[in-house]
Structure 1
Amino acid sequence: MKALFIGGIKSGKSVNAQNYILKLSSSKPCYLATTEFIDAGIKERIKEHKKNRHDKFNTVEESLSIYKSIKANKTPVLVECVSMWINNMFHHGFNLADMKKELKKILKLEQTIVFVLNDVGSGIIPQNKLASDFIDASGIISQLISQNCDEVYHTIAGISTRIK
C-alpha cells in the first residue's frame, strides 16, 4: 500500500498523514524525517513535528539515502517530507535523474509507505534558477509518486480529500 498526502505548506497534510498511517499500522510505524537542520526556523518546525507525533512512531533521520532507510524498516513508513528531501538532494549536488532513480526503487518496495509532499506548483515561478528547478522537480516527482500510489489525498485547511 502506497499513499501520498499533498498540499500547501501548513495545510494539515502532515498531521493527516500521521493519523492515516497510525490507523494502518498494527505496530509503531517508522517516521522517516528528511529535514536537515539548516537554521533556527527549521529547528522550530522539527520541534513542532516531534511534539505532534509524541511517542507513536519510531523516528529515523535520513536526509538523502531514503531508499536504504525505508527498505531497512519492517513496519509501515511515513516519509516526512519529500519536499525537504528534494531540497537536500539539490543542496548536495544531486539532480532530478538521481531523485527519480531513488524513488523508482522505493516505489517497487512491497511495504506500506505514506509520502508527504508540498504542492508548490500553484504559485508564481520565481526568476531564480534553483527555485524554478525545485518547482519543476517537485511537480515531476509528485506525478511519479502519485502514479504509483494506491491512494492520493489533497489537503486544504486541514481537510484531506481523496483524489485517487
Structure 2
Amino acid sequence: MKTLFIGGIKSGKSINAQDYILKNSVVRPTYLATTEFVDAGMKERIDAHVINRGDNFVTLEEPLKIYEAISANKNPVLVECVSMWINNMFYHEFSLEDMQKELENILELNQTIVFVLNDVGSGIIPDNKLSRDFIDASGKLSQLIASGCDEVYHTIAGISTRIK
C-alpha cells in the first residue's frame, strides 16, 4: 500500500500522515527523515518533528539514497519529506531523471510507504531559475508519486481529504 499526503507548508500533512501510518501498521513503522541540517531555523523544525513523533517510530536519517533505505527496511515507512529530499538532490547536483528513477524504483517495492510532500505549485512563478526548477521538479514528481499510490490525501488547515 502506497499513500501520499500533499499540502502546503504547515498544513498538518505531517501529523496526519503520522497518525495514518500508526493506525494502519501492526508493527512499529520507520520514520525516514530526509532533511539535512542547514541552519538554526531548520534545526528548530527538525526538533519539532522529533518531539511530535516521540517513540512511536524507528527513526532512520537518509537525505539522498531513499530507495536503499526503504528497500532495506521491511516495516512500513513514512518518508518525511519528499520535498526536502528533492531539495537535497538538487543541492548535490542530481538530475530530475535521477529523482524520477529513484521514485519509480520505490513505487515498485512491495511494502507500505507513506509519502509526505509539500504542494508548492499553487503560487506565482518565481523570478529565479533554481526556484522554478524546484517547483517544476516537485510538480512532476508529485504526479509520479500520486499515480503510483493507492491513496492520495490533500491537506488544508489540518484536514486531510482523500482525493484518490
Check whether TM > 0.5: yes
Q: Secondary structure at the match of 1:3?
A: strand
Report matched runs for 1:8-19 at 5 Å.
Answer: 8-19=8-19
Cα distance in 2, alignment partners of residues 65 and 74 from structure 1: 16
Q: Secondary structure at the match of 2:102?
A: helix
Report matched runs for 1:43-54 at 5 Å.
Answer: 43-54=43-54
Cα distance in 2, alignment partners of residues 65 and 117 from structure 1: 17
Instruction: Report the alpha carbon displacement of residue 27 of structure 1 after superposing the two structures with TM.
Output: 1.1
Aligned to 2:84: 84
Q: In the TM superposition, what whole-angstrom CA distance separates every residue of 1:13-41 from its partner, at most 9, and x where no partner exists?
A: 00000000001111110000000001111
1:45 partner letter: R
Q: Which runs of 4+ in 1 moved over 6 A?
A: none
1:57 partner letter: F
Q: Secondary structure at the match of 2:117?
A: strand
- Does structure 1 residue 67 correspond to structure 2 residue 61? no
Q: Normalization by structure 2: what TM-score?
A: 0.99
Report matched runs for 1:15-54 at 5 Å.
Answer: 15-54=15-54
Aligned to 1:93: 93
**Alignment identity in percent?**
75
Cα distance in 2, alignment partners of residues 130 and 94 from structure 1: 13
Instruction: Report the alpha carbon displacement of residue 125 of structure 1 after superposing the two structures with TM.
Output: 1.4
Aligned to 2:161: 161
Aligned to 2:106: 106
Q: In the TM superposition, what whole-angstrom CA distance separates every residue of 1:39-98 from its partner, at most 9, and x where no partner exists?
A: 111100000000000000000000000000000111000000000000000000101000
Instruction: Report the alpha carbon displacement of residue 108 of structure 1 after superposing the two structures with TM.
Output: 0.1
For structure 2, the 5+ residue unaligned runs are none
Aligned to 1:136: 136
Q: Secondary structure at the match of 1:27?
A: coil
What is the count of residue pairs matched by the alignment? 164
For structure 1, the 5+ residue unaligned runs are none
